């Protein structure tokens, strides 16, 4: 299995380390040709406006969109914004996933936080999964989801922070900044079962 990590800006190295620990071959994606032969792609956290601008400048936006139509893609934080169809403002997006996302929904950098999250799909051997340590850094909130979208995790008040639509996965938080590799494994399963 070979997974690419969009490496224009943001926390791509952390995803790479996590995948390498899991024995996955990784590629840092900056140009369209880096997408060749990949089984899936991770779009990291960072700054979605910057990632979008660089994707335009590097002429890779349309290639990323095409890749995403055919392969599993996981967006964390800014990556989740980048995958969304609607974010209430105009900036370059892949616009693939049928979700509406609000940027910086929890406030500023100082309002970043960590919390334990119930994520039922991380179940193993039928037993209730341990809570996932979710790190939120100027995180977006998934305000609403379309019909084909499965909600994977919410914060109190039914605030959606993880969702899946077929081959696309989004998390508002940063699993790559923890020692918990279950979301990376979950994404690998999405790739294997495609």
Cite the active site residues.
77, 174, 176
Nearest CB to ligand GLN, comparing residues 39 and 114: 114
Among 55, 77, 102, 117, binds ligand GLN (CB under 6 A): 77
- The number of residues that bind ligand GLN (CB under 6 A) is 11
> What are φ and ψ of residue 5, in 5° steps?
-125, 120
- Residue 71 touching ligand GLN (CB under 6 A): no
DSSP state of 134: E
Q: Which residues of 117-129 are buried (b: 16+ CB within 10 A; e: fewer)?
A: bebeebeeeeeee
List Cβ neighbours of 96 (8 Å cut-off, separation of 6 or more): 65, 68, 69, 73, 83, 85, 168
Task: Using the rule CB under 6 A, give the single segment among 19-27, 44-52, 115-123, 185-193 that binds ligand GLN.
Answer: 44-52
For the bound state, the minimum distance from the C-beta of residue 118 to ligand GLN, rounded and expressed in Å, comes to 22
Among 15, 34, 71, 103, binds ligand GLN (CB under 6 A): 103
Pairing of strands 159-165, 132-136: unpaired
Nearest CB to ligand GLN, comparing residues 104 and 150: 104
Cα→Cα distances 13→28, 107, 156, Å: 9, 26, 31
* Surface-to-core class of residue 143, CB atoms within 10 Å of its CB (0-12 exposed, 13-18 middle, 19+ buried): middle
- Residue 137 touching ligand GLN (CB under 6 A): yes
For the bound state, the minimum distance from the C-beta of residue 37 to ligand GLN, rounded and expressed in Å, comes to 27
Residues near ligand GLN (CB under 6 A) are: 45-48, 77-78, 81, 103-104, 137-138
């Amino acid at each position: 299995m070979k997974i690419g990590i969009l490496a224009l800006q943001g926390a791509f190295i952390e995803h790479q380390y996590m995948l390498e620990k899991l024995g996955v071959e990784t590629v840092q994606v900056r140009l369209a040709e880096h997408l060749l032969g990949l089984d899936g792609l991770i779009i990291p956290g960072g700054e979605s406006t910057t990632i979008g601008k660089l994707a335009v400048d590097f002429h890779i936006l349309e290639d990323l969109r095409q890749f995403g139509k055919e392969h599993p893609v996981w967006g964390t934080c800014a990556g989740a914004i980048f995958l969304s169809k609607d974010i209430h403002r105009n900036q370059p997006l892949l616009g693939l996933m049928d979700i509406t996302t609000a940027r910086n929904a929890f406030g500023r950098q100082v309002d970043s936080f960590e919390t334990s999250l119930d994520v039922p799909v991380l179940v193993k051997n039928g037993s209730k999964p341990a809570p996932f340590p979710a790190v939120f850094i100027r995180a977006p909130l998934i305000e609403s989801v379309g019909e084909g979208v499965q909600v994977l995790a919410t914060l109190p008040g039914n605030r959606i922070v993880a969702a899946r639509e077929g081959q696309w996965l989004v998390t508002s938080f940063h699993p790559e900044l923890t020692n918990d590799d279950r979301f990376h494994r979950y994404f690998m399963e999405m790739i294997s079962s495609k």
